[in-house]
A and B are shown apart, each in its own frame.
Chain A
Amino acid sequence: MISHDIVVVGGGPAGMAAAIAAYDAGCQDVVILDREPHLGGILMQCIHNGFGLHKFGKELTGPEYAAIYEEKVRSRNITVFPETMVTSVSPDRVVTAQNRQGIMKIQAKAVILAMGCRERSRGALNICGSRPAGVYSAGTAQKLVNCMGYQVGKRVVILGSGDIGLIMARRMSFEGAKVEAVCEVMPYSGGLTRNIVQCLEDFGIPLYLSTTVVQIHGKERLEGVTIAQVDARRQPIEETKRYIPCDTLLLSVGLIPENELTRAAGIPIDPITNGAIVDECCQTEIPGIFACGNVLQVHDLVDYVSDEAERAGLGAVKYVNGLNKSENTLQTKPGNGVRYVLPQTINSTEEDVSLFLRVTQPFGKVKFTVSAGDTVLAVAKKLKAAPGEMEKITVKAAALQNITGPITVSLEEL
């Protein structure tokens, strides 16, 4: 068995940013393991622009954003094992991985989990009908079009209005396909407003809210789908059923953090985020194992993934140096109108703590209140809030002193 100070599982935006932050904080023995032949993760197929506005103040494409971090990795003495699949992480931080050279075991002082997420597939939706060719998850179609140059279809229906679905609606239109409709089962879109404007409205693609695909038709190749409006309980309304001929159905119906390694290590998972329960340094409930990026919570912007990963990297270095403190653990809890709050625990109150959260439904003007019992720790006002847009509220270290009870974040509509 070999040993390294910090082992990072995954070489996407989270893994690279975590490794760089750890290296720059003084830990010179950092290793990245990734199953792909190149670094960058999902960014390499996201050729559209809009990345890096927060981090670099300019609009970059996915590969350009990844290249900035890859260059930083290469210019430091960070070891990268490409085409290496991690098969297990043990609670005492032994990482087992395999590649063409064989199996390796690494005893790490700290492990950073940055495996990202994967797409929810047709099987999870229970859409009735046959199983013809032409039904893709939006990300698979994205890879086929953007990286391999295939045209996946000519008449397209997209189910789900998350950002990947919206981006693919534009991409398929650019490649000569006719996008007939984007259907969203919820009464609001899950994607960023800017993507509805520049990916749907620019191309005259209709967005049908409270609408879903109820049947898939075709034997060898998809021939069409039946769509229907849904009622308040999300049940299809029979009279609204309508047939749309198409040869391609793209599914953009949610992302699932890829936490198989995390679960197998016995790390407790938050049932709402589907990611590990972590403290403000992104440390899981097992000391020395950290998680960041989409494996921890699904983000809407890669810039925030990089920020979160940097916190994990710094936390891992602190742990390796024995500086991690946990004298007074505070719990955080979602209150009225808030679906989840991350981190779920706060261990150190020496520095300001940023809380990340998503709301339960779209709101107009809102006021967020962070409180512990009757004590208000922070307030933040927003002109609007939507589940598709993560909110960040910073609580000053001074406000956290002498707090014992759980910290609740709730909102009220103004």
Chain B
Amino acid sequence: MKRDMICIICPRGCSLCADIQGENVTVTGNACPKGQEYAINECTNPVRTVTATVRVSNRYNTMASVKTLTPVAKDKMMEVMNILRQTQIQAPAKIGDVVLADVCGSAIVITKEIL
């Protein structure tokens, strides 16, 4: 089975073609090794980095931006969001601070300093 897709790793947006023969996936159209990895992931276990915000309980009208430290399974994105919606942090917080250690297989870390 052949599957066409567009690589989302970088803004170049290569048009990839993955040829899936059972367990083997052959990728063409990629300009770099990351494209091959992306295409194989897309065919076997598509993943995405989720970026969002959490409330800061001791600051008015302030959101702390967060991300999954590693990409999570694409179909788990809304599950991550549902957990983050109920999560609050305490200021101050620094970039890289861990908010939650394991949400759908990834840590959630702060991406903006909150003084």
Q: Which residues of A contact B (CB under 8 A)?
A: 44, 47-50, 53, 59, 61, 63-64, 67, 145-149, 174-175, 192-194, 196-198, 202, 300-301, 389
Q: Is B74 an interface residue (CB 8 A)?
A: yes
From A44, A63, A64, A301, B11 is in contact (CB under 8 Å) with: A301
Give every chain A residue within 8 A of B9 (Cβ-Cβ): 194
B61 touches A148 (CB 8 A): yes
Expressed in whole angstroms, the Cα–Cα distance for A174 and B49 within the complex equals 13
User: Given A47-B51, A47-B112, A61-B51, are A174 and B77 also a contact pair (CB < 8 Å)?
Assistant: yes
From A64, A148, A194, B63 is in contact (CB under 8 Å) with: A148
A-B contact pairs, 30 of them (CB 8 A): A44-B112, A49-B67, A50-B11, A53-B11, A59-B49, A61-B51, A61-B111, A61-B112, A63-B65, A63-B95, A63-B113, A146-B53, A148-B61, A148-B62, A148-B63, A149-B53, A149-B55, A149-B63, A174-B78, A174-B81, A192-B11, A192-B13, A193-B6, A194-B6, A194-B8, A194-B10, A197-B6, A198-B48, A202-B74, A202-B77
Expressed in whole angstroms, the Cα–Cα distance for A197 and B39 within the complex equals 13
B11 touches A300 (CB 8 A): yes
Give every chain B residue within 8 A of A196 (Cβ-Cβ): 6
Expressed in whole angstroms, the Cα–Cα distance for A63 and B62 within the complex equals 14
A63 touches B61 (CB 8 A): no
Expressed in whole angstroms, the Cα–Cα distance for A173 and B48 within the complex equals 15
Give every chain B residue within 8 A of A192 (Cβ-Cβ): 11, 13
Question: How far does the Cβ of A304 sit from chain B's closest Cβ, in whole Å?
Answer: 10
What number of B residues sit within 8 Å (CB to CB) of A? Answer: 28
Q: Is B91 an interface residue (CB 8 A)?
A: no
Give every chain A residue within 8 A of B49 (Cβ-Cβ): 49, 59
> From A199, which residue of chain B is reached at the shortest CB distance?
B8
Q: Is B18 an interface residue (CB 8 A)?
A: no
> From A59, which residue of chain B is reached at the shortest CB distance?
B49
Q: Is B7 an interface residue (CB 8 A)?
A: yes
Q: Is B99 an interface residue (CB 8 A)?
A: no
Give every chain B residue within 8 A of A64 (Cβ-Cβ): 95, 111-112
Give every chain A residue within 8 A of B7 (Cβ-Cβ): 194
Q: Is B52 an interface residue (CB 8 A)?
A: yes
A146 touches B48 (CB 8 A): no
Question: How far does the Cβ of A317 sit from chain B's closest Cβ, in whole Å?
Answer: 30
> From B74, which residue of chain A is reached at the shortest CB distance?
A202
Give every chain A residue within 8 A of B113 (Cβ-Cβ): 63, 67
Expressed in whole angstroms, the Cα–Cα distance for A194 and B11 within the complex equals 6
Expressed in whole angstroms, the Cα–Cα distance for A300 and B74 within the complex equals 26
Residues 17-41 of B, flagged 1 when their CB comes within 8 A of A and 0 if not, give: 0000000000000000000000000
Question: How far does the Cβ of B56 sit from chain A's closest Cβ, in whole Å?
Answer: 9
User: Given A47-B65, A63-B112, A147-B63, are A198 and B8 also a contact pair (CB < 8 Å)?
Assistant: yes
Give every chain A residue within 8 A of B67 (Cβ-Cβ): 47, 49, 61
Expressed in whole angstroms, the Cα–Cα distance for A196 and B48 within the complex equals 14
Give every chain A residue within 8 A of B11 (Cβ-Cβ): 50, 53, 192, 194, 300-301, 389
Give every chain A residue within 8 A of B95 (Cβ-Cβ): 63-64, 67
Question: How far does the Cβ of B41 sit from chain A's closest Cβ, in whole Å?
Answer: 13
From A48, A300, A301, A389, B51 is in contact (CB under 8 Å) with: A48
